[in-house]
Amino acid sequence: MSPYRPSEIEPKWQQKWSDARVAEIDVAAPGDKLYMLNMFPYPSGDLHVGHGRNYILGDALYRYFRMQGRAALNPMGWDAFGLPAENAAIKRGIHPRQWTMSNIVREKKQFQRWGILYDWSKEIASCHPGYYKWNQWLFLKLYERGLAYRGTAPVNWCPEDKTVLANEQVVDGKCERCGAVVEQKELAQWFLKITDYADRLDAGLDKLENWPDKVKTMQRNWIGRSVGCDIEFEVPTLGRSIRVFTTRPDTIYGATFMVVAPEHPIVADLIADHPDRAGLEAWINGVRNQSSLERQEAGKEGRFTGKHARNPFTNELIPIWLGNFVLMQYGTGAIMAVPAHDQRDFEFARQYGLPMRIVITKGGELPDVSAMTEAYTVKDESAVAVDSDIITGLAAPKAIDRICGEVEKRRIGKRMIRYRLRDWLISRQRYWGTPIPMIYCDRCGLVPVPEKDLPVELPLDVPFTGREGNPLAKHDAFVNVKCPQCRGAARRETDTMDTFVDSSWYYARFISPRDDTKIFDTKMVNRWLPVDQYIGGIEHAILHLLYARFICRVLHDLGLTEVEEPFTRLFNQGMITKEGYRDPSQNNSWVPLNEVEMRGGKAFRGPTELVPEVGKMSKSRFNVVPPDELIERYGADTERVYTLFIAPPEKEAAWSDEGVVGAYRFLGRVWNMGEQILSSVLGPRSSDGNGAGDIERVIRKMHRTIDAVTRRFDRFEFNTAISALMELSNTIGEYMAAGGRDARLRDAFTVLLQLLHPFAPHLTEEMWAMFAKKGFILTSAWPIADESLMQEDFVTIVVQVNGKLRGQIEVPNPPEEGVVMAAVQSNEKIQTWVAGKKVVKTIYVPGKLVNVVVR
RNA sequence: GCGAAAGUGGCGGAAUUGGCAGACGCGCUGGACUUAGGAUCCAGUGGCCCAAAGCCGUGCGGGUUCGAGUCCCGCCUUUCGCACCA
């Protein structure tokens, strides 16, 4: 008998799987297709156990589906363009390509060491010209359809990364990547017209039944669909009108002033003859130069323009104000202010002493305010009621409809659906990305690169200085080209694409990854898409997942696929956190783990007690757990089992070095059990009928475990699936310890191996091989539970009266009513009361409680 | 501020439809084997109590029910998301 030595068995099986290409699949072969996909990673170098959780989870699921006989596809690739590669080039003088490629090699090795099976024949890397060529092709198609355009707009500029960013990449006014405060700049940039798809992207969410509600809510909020009405307010002294958007046109009788965004084009005219024009302009410029963050922190501020507009429903002339809380980017950049029915308008009105009017809609009574804001409930003294004329007596939905109808009849506006979503800014002033295939010609203007000239290859011979400006712009051979139309001298676009373009369609490329002639094979893509199970982090709830849904619809509209939604089922795994330490005497800087000394359960560096802090693993906090050492000592199977056992997979989980030992011990016990069973002489039928030594008990437990683990796989409850396997292993262990030697023990154990296989593939393969050597033929198919064997044959009925033990009896399962009654054996008149289908029963005797507990 | 989710031992966490609260594991305590134990195995481990019996226990306060971690009402706390979107 040899002890469990994962370091000896694991590399052997990894090599075998790799040599036999077990995960390679022919997409054209028949079968019950299942497309599994983990979000492809950015190859940043070292993967830690937190990344491991994500891929191990996917692998366990993939192996489970394989065992069930599904034709499962599980490909992997690399989201290989991006800033860190370029930063490494600037910092360390390594070319981004070289840096990226060497990281890919390392990460691929790591996947193998985790025992993860991918179909490497379909590997893709977005930085490969064979891939990004189709990025460029897709861009040209978008351009042809008017879905890619060059426009000037105030955009987000990250001063740290020296590039513009998409709105989705700005979090709380800061750069999502580096945390620098984002500035606003007016620049000409490339946009993709995602707003054209806002309605479909919003409506499509309803059909995604197997997506987490949280992600759907986040997308819905981000798209921000609002149903309302545009209404013109005439400015008599200018002979023009100002258009506003409102979702509550029924409150228009209470509109006592207007507020216009300081950036609104009409502002120049509004203040042209203002006595303090200079002062107003200074104020406007002040607001303009604020970042969105500063603007919000400043609170509500405004200035009166001196002009008035006519409320089209009350005919009253109302003052026009400028206000910092009105945003040019949303709606029309102007609002009608109804202070009695809107919180923001209320605050503004109160601050500047503007009038308030309560709109009465229901027969002289106060309106239904449930959908209105605090402003109304405050009942400001100055608020007076106003007659609501044509909507008097109507409930809000009807009143809204009536006003909209009137507005349209009078041709002063129309019903409108507006979105918060803005177009996707895809140009980046950085080198390591897909070149945008466009050419600027002085005579012909914007000229797309002809399809036959694709790919526009990224030149490799550029210097990396870190100074402002894209290094591509200094590469003369790249920049200076002939115009494809007039053959005259022209300049190439030097911006590259946002890397989220690369990842917006990669799931389709896996189906025909080497095809030079087209973006993908439509017939095969229609067979394999959508992805049945997509796995990745919640950080992509909006970014990647929204873009992918958008581009998938574009591909559909181009006639390239039949699918609209790329991912049927989505799972977001939780992060793994780990304790790190900060030194309060050193400005709370992070302390490397090798300088931390544990004394009495507390952490010290020299005499200073350190402050522990649990958080996401990152190099700067020195709390990264690298898998290498762990795998060497305990094996990949241990890491796999521990990682999935630690917590429900969607939850955040704290890494504990001690906890790993538990998983290791469990696998060690399984190993020893297998060895013992192999070397024992098992008899044909040696059930001695009771307690731990009863083989029937083991068999019943086995069937219950098959059932439990199968159900838990389908519900992503890996932690309890593993605990069920530990229970089965304990039951088998007890049977063996009690001296049981029935041959069916081997069946129970091999089922344990099968159920354990997705979690600990190396150990189980090794054991299977050992069994095979002794002549036992095993199958690697997923076992099926026999329901008739899941229940206990006999149960013990324990009768308690008022909590006191009255009697105990063993009866066949399920117990009959009469048997239960007999067990109670009391003189009292008894009513039986049976709850649900459970075998637990309570008998109620007036004044007493009789609990019949079935064990 | 608005919205959502969650509060269970020393810790991670279990508990179909209301039905033995604390599965499984870590840690801890004791023991075995050891030159040694940070390896392995065995036993114990929610709290009160020497122990038994018993009592108390799922954030807090009410309620429904024979029976509530689970359902209802009102709070408190934490986490996440949104945050001038008219």
Residues 669-708 of chain A in contact with strand B via CB under 7 angstroms? 669
Which residue's structure tokens are 């603007």? A295
Element of type H or E holding A767:
helix A761-773
The answer to whether the beta carbon of residue A21 comes closer than 7 angstroms to any atom of strand B is no
Judge contact between A757 and A780, C-beta under 8 A. yes
Report residues 645-674 of A contacting strand B, contact meaning Cβ closer than 7 Å: 645-648, 651-654, 656, 658-659, 661-666, 668-669
User: Is the distance between the Cβ of A836 and the closest atom of strand B smaller than 7 Å?
Assistant: yes
Instruction: Give the residue-averaged pLDDT of A366-379.
Output: 41
Separation of A797 CA and B51 C1' (Å): 29
Q: Tell me the C-alpha distance between A428 and A125, whole Å.
A: 19
Exposed e or buried b for every residue in A701-733, given b needs 16+ CB within 10 A?
A: bbbbbbbbbbebbeebbbbebbebbbebbebbb
- Give the single-character DSSP code of A569: B
Residue A178 has pLDDT above 60, yes or no: yes
pLDDT of residue A307: 94
Q: Which nucleotide is nearest to A855 (CA to C1')?
A: B20
SS3 assignment, position A841: strand
By the 8 A CB rule, do A677 and A745 touch? yes
Q: Which nucleotide is nearest to A296 (CA to C1')?
A: B84
Write down the ipTM of this complex. 0.94
Alpha helices in A558-655 (DSSP H): 627-634, 636-645
Q: Which value, in Å, is the radius of gyration of the alpha carbons in chain A?
A: 34
- CA-based torsion, A344, A156, A449, A77: positive or negative: negative
Dump pLDDT digits (tens) for A383-409. 677 777 788 777 777 888 999 999 999
Strands A77-78 and A124-125, bridge-based pairing = parallel
> Whose C1' is closest to the CA of A228: which nucleotide?
B86
CA to C1' distance (Å), from A695 to B60:
49
Residue found by looking up tokens 């990547």 in the block: A177
Distance A805 CA to B57 C1' (A): 21
Going by their DSSP bridges, the two strands A240-246 and A438-441 should be labelled as unpaired
pLDDT at A637 over 70: yes
Task: Give the tokens for residue A545.
Answer: 């997942």
DSSP reduced 3-state for A806: strand
Asked whether the beta carbons of A323 and A348 are under 8 A apart, the reply is yes
Q: Is the minimum distance from the CB of A249 to strand B below 7 Å?
A: no
Can you tell me the mean pLDDT for A833-853?
40
What count of other Cβ atoms lies within 10 Å of the Cβ of residue A632?
A: 12
Residue A123, pLDDT score:
98
> Does the CB of A484 sit below 7 A from strand B?
no
Q: What is the pLDDT of residue A475?
A: 93
Judge contact between A484 and A449, C-beta under 8 A: yes
Helix (H) or strand (E) holding A78: strand A77-78
From residue A767, alpha-carbon distances to A291, A637, A671, A672 in Å are: 63, 13, 8, 10
A411 exposure class (CB count in 10 Å sphere: 0-12, 13-18, 19+): exposed
Which residue matches tokens 């574009």?
A: A554
Q: Whose CA is closest to A119, among A73, A80, A87?
A: A73
pLDDT at A558: 96
- Cβ(A813)–Cβ(A806) under 8 Å? no
> Per-residue pLDDT tens for A247-276?
989 889 989 999 999 999 999 999 999 999
Asked if residue A1 has pLDDT above 70, the reply is no
pLDDT recorded at residue A792: 62
CA distance linking residue A732 with residue A726, whole number of Å: 10
Residue A597, CA distances (Å) to A23, A207, A450, A588 in order: 45, 54, 64, 17
Protein residue minimizing CA–C1' distance to B80:
A214
Q: Report the distance from CA of residue A120 to the C1' of nucleotide B60 in Å, as an integer.
A: 56
Most confident of A366-375, A500-509, A618-627, A846-855: A500-509
A115: which 2 tokens?
């025992």
Q: Which residue is nearest to nucleotide B67 (CA to C1')?
A: A842
- CA–C1' nearest nucleotide, residue A574: B80
Q: Is the CB of A167 under 7 A from strand B?
A: no
pLDDT at position A168 is 78
Q: Strands A77-78 and A240-246: what pairing?
A: unpaired
A80: Cβ under 7 Å from strand B?
no
- B66: residue with closest CA to C1': A844
Please give the single-letter amino acid code of residue A638.
Answer: T
What is the rounded CA–CA span in Å between residue A531 and residue A534? 6
C-alpha to C-alpha distances, A343 to A252, A300, A320, A376, nearest whole angstrom: 15, 12, 19, 8
Please, which contacts does A24-27 make with residues 24 or more away whose CB atoms are closer than 8 Å?
A24/A119, A24/A120, A24/A121, A25/A71, A25/A72, A25/A73, A25/A119, A27/A73, A27/A511, A27/A512, A27/A524, A27/A527, A27/A528
Nearest to residue A481, comparing CAs of A510, A502, A459? A459
| Pick from A50, A10, A39: nearest CA to A615 | A50
Q: How far is CA A403 from the centre of its chain?
A: 41
User: Could you give the 3-state DSSP secondary structure of residue A620?
Assistant: helix
Stated pTM of the model: 0.91
**Is strand B in 7 Å reach of the CB of A844?**
yes
Q: Which of residues 794-833 of A touch strand B (CB under 7 A)?
A: 803-804, 833
Residue among A833, A242, A835, A71 at smallest CA distance from A850 = A833
Strands (E), A559-704: 570-572, 576-583, 589-591, 597-599, 602-605, 608-609, 611-616, 653-654
C-alpha torsion A365→A367→A369→A373, nearest 10: -120
What is the CA A91 to C1' B1 distance in angstroms? 44
Q: What is the pLDDT of residues A540-572, one digit of tens each?
A: 888 999 999 999 999 999 999 999 999 999 999
pLDDT band at A612 (very low <50, low <70, confident <90, very high): confident
Backbone angles phi, psi at A807, to 5 degrees: -175, 170
Q: What is the pLDDT of residue A815?
A: 55
Where on the phi/psi map is residue A808: left (φ > 0), alpha (ψ -120 to 50), or beta? beta
Token pair listed for A848: 């007493």
Band of pLDDT at residue A376, cut at 50, 70 and 90: very low
Residue A798 confidence (pLDDT) above 70:
no
Q: Give pLDDT tens digits for A409-449.
A: 999 999 999 999 999 999 999 899 999 999 999 999 999 99
Helical (H) or strand (E) element with A854? strand A848-854
Among A569, A572, A608, A574, residue whose Cα is nearest residue A588: A608
Q: Return the bridge partners of A359, or none.
A: A386
User: Which residues in chain A, range 588-647, keep a C-beta under 7 Å from any nucleic strand B atom?
Assistant: 645-647
- Residue A672 predicted with pLDDT over 60: yes
- Give the residue with minimal CA–C1' separation from B24: A723
Which positions on chain B have an atom < 7 Å from some protein CB? 3-4, 11-15, 17-20, 23-27, 39-42, 54-55, 66-67, 80-82, 84-86
The answer to whether A260 and A349 have CB atoms below 8 angstroms apart is no
Mean of all residue pLDDT scores within chain A: 86
Angle at A796 between CA A794 and CA A798, to 5 degrees: 160
Who's near A841: CB < 8 A, 6+ residues apart? A820, A832, A833, A834, A835, A852, A854
A796 pLDDT above the threshold of 60: no
CA of A798: nucleotide with nearest C1': B20
CA angle at A174 for the pair A172 and A176, rounded to the nearest 5°: 100
Q: What percent of chain A is modeled with pLDDT above 90?
A: 59
CB of A247 lies under 7 Å from some atom of strand B: yes
Of residues A683, A636, A624, A682, the one with CA closest to residue A660: A636
CA pair distance A23, A510, nearest whole angstrom: 14
